[in-house]
Structure formats: structure tokens, C-alpha cells
Amino acid sequence: MQATDFRRPNQVREAVYGYLKALLLSGRFAPGERLSEPLLAKELGVSRTPVREALMRLAEEGLLELVPGKGARVRAFTPEEVEEVYGVRALLEGEAAKEAALRARPWELLELEELLRAIDEAPREDYPEQMRRDLEFHRALVRLSGNRTLLRLYEDLLATLVLARSAVPMLSQEEATRREHWAILKALKARDSEGAKRAVEAHIYRFRDLVVRRLLEGV
């Protein structure tokens, strides 16, 4: 973890919060991993107060758990919670794909294709970077729906999705994932709204099943 420059006193709280949330979104922390308040404060070059406040905010958002006497740890999800989260994701992203297939402009689909190629070009075995590029592809897909309410709901769900998926740190360059991504793009280019929805749902439900299976194996 690299130290970050937080020199503006009036921005310290938001900067620390944003930095820690970005780390969670990157997939760098494993479910159940503990976060040291003193260590984070030292690495960021700030007092412990803004770090403590940031950890509390992240706990309120359901991303961390505050354990009395032990500090903060990354939230670990139950199989039932994963089923719920991925079910909501399928609803939101499936609807977004339907709308995107009908309204996305050719140049926007080309940009989406470039994002897929960027995933393939990410350093091998660099899970956080592949996760970041994978998320950018899915965010871009939802944005192409043109539905701002849907996008807002999806953005609210993203951090939870990242933490749930981190139970199975599978690279986005894995062949089955690549096929599913390109199937989504193919349906969008064909203006096949129902096909795009089905392709997205197949992709999401496969990952749901992988995560649930991994959690059950660990029980």
C-alpha cells in the first residue's frame, strides 16, 4: 500500500474515506481481513481520528464490521446474502443490457469493446487490476442504458458486489469469463435486447454459483 498525500486539512476526512473505499473496491482485501487503524494512519500520514471515522462510515455502509476490542475487519458474506446481492445485480444489469441494446450508439459500443480488450491486456495474475477493468466494463454497460436511476442503484451495489466476489478471486482473463463478456457485446451490437439480457444474467448467475459454492465449502 502506498502512502497518499493528504495535505489539505479540510479534505482529510473525505480523502481518507475515499482512499480506503477504493482499496476495498480494488479487491485487495480478503473477506474477514482485519484493518489496523494505527497502521493505516501511519501509512497515510494522518492522525487516527479521520481513519477511525472512515472505518465507521464504511461499517455503516455494510462493507466493514466493527468488532469490540478488535477493530475493523472486511465483511464476510453468507451464502444467503450472496444469493440476494447477485439476484439484485442480475435484475439491474439485465435491464440495463436490454435498454443499452436499443439505444447505444455505434461509437459507444466500440468504447465498450475497447474496455474488454483492456481486460485481456491487464497484467497476468494481477487480480486487483483485472477487477478494476472488469468493473469499468460493467459500469459502462449500465451507463449505456441511459437510465440514471438504474445507474445510481447499481453504483450503490458495487462495493458489496466486489467484496462478495473477492471470496473467489478468479481472473477476468479466465476463458469462460471472456466468452461471457464477448457474448454480451455481440448481443448489444446485434440490437438483440432479450439476448443481451440473457447473456448478462448467465454471466452473473455463474459467478453467483461459484461464490456460493466456495462459501459452502468453507463452512
Q: State the Cα torsion 91-94-99-103 to the nearest 10°.
A: 150
User: Tens digit of pLDDT per residue, the chain (219 long)?
Assistant: 455 554 555 588 899 998 898 888 776 777 788 998 999 999 998 999 999 999 999 998 888 988 887 788 888 888 998 999 999 999 999 999 999 999 999 999 999 999 999 998 888 778 778 888 998 999 999 999 999 999 999 988 888 888 887 777 666 668 899 999 999 999 999 999 999 999 999 999 999 998 898 888 865
- pLDDT of 185 reads 97
Please calculate the CA angle 129-132-136 and round it to the nearest 5 degrees: 140
Residue type, 72: A
CB 112 within 8 A of CB 143: no
- pLDDT of 4 reads 53
What is the grid cell recorded at 98? 436490454
Chain Cα centroid distance, residue 25: 5
- pLDDT of 154 reads 94
Closest CA to 158 of 188, 177, 136: 136
- pLDDT of 217 reads 82
Burial string for 141-177 (b: 16+ CB within 10 Å, else e) reads bbbbbebeebbeebeebebbbbbbbbbeebbbbeeeb
Compute how many other C-beta atoms are within 10 angstroms of the C-beta atom of residue 118. 16
CA-based Rg of the chain, rounded to a whole angstrom? 18
- pLDDT of 93 reads 97
Which runs of E-coded beta strand occur in the chain? 34-35, 64-67, 71-74
CA distance 7 to 81: 39
CB 97 within 8 A of CB 197: yes
pTM of the predicted model as reported, rounded to 2 decimal places: 0.80
CA distance 212 to 142: 24
